Amino acid sequence: MLRTYSIRRLPGSSLTLCALMLCLALVPVAQAENATPGRLMQAQLLQVAERGVSVQKAVELVRSQYKGQVVKATEIEFQGRPAYRIRLVNAGRVRDVLVDVQSGQIINARGNDG
């Protein structure tokens, strides 16, 4: 499944983005039969534990390592493993950085900036 996240730097956008992602993550769980609040919380925590690092954490990691503005974050598969492709633009140059979803480590960085 391909998921694309658009990142914009607005005041308070980090908290808003996290809240929105949490709500979207709960939609499939909430549709399960006989879902109670306790079961919903357990399912949500299990999903987070299985997933590893969030897209927001991956974006923060990439921002700390590379210059530029994050313009897109996409969930992809890289060498058989889930990864985030974080796209940055700096001085008109584009760089794609791949972050492993499970470990949170940068696994590949490519760009047209040299």
Q: 35-61 pLDDT, tens per residue?
A: 666 676 566 555 544 668 999 999 999
Cα Rg, the chain, nearest whole Å:
16
Report all structural domains of the chain as residue ranges with CATH numbers, in order of start. Answer: 3-111 (3.10.450.40)
**Mean pLDDT (whole number) for 67-91:** 93
Rounded CA separation 84/54 (Å): 9
Q: Whole-model pTM?
A: 0.56
Positions of E strands within 1-114:
3-5, 69-78, 81-90, 93-100, 106-111
CB 97 within 8 A of CB 77: no
What distance in Å separates the CA atoms of residue 90 and residue 69, rounded to the nearest whole number?
A: 6
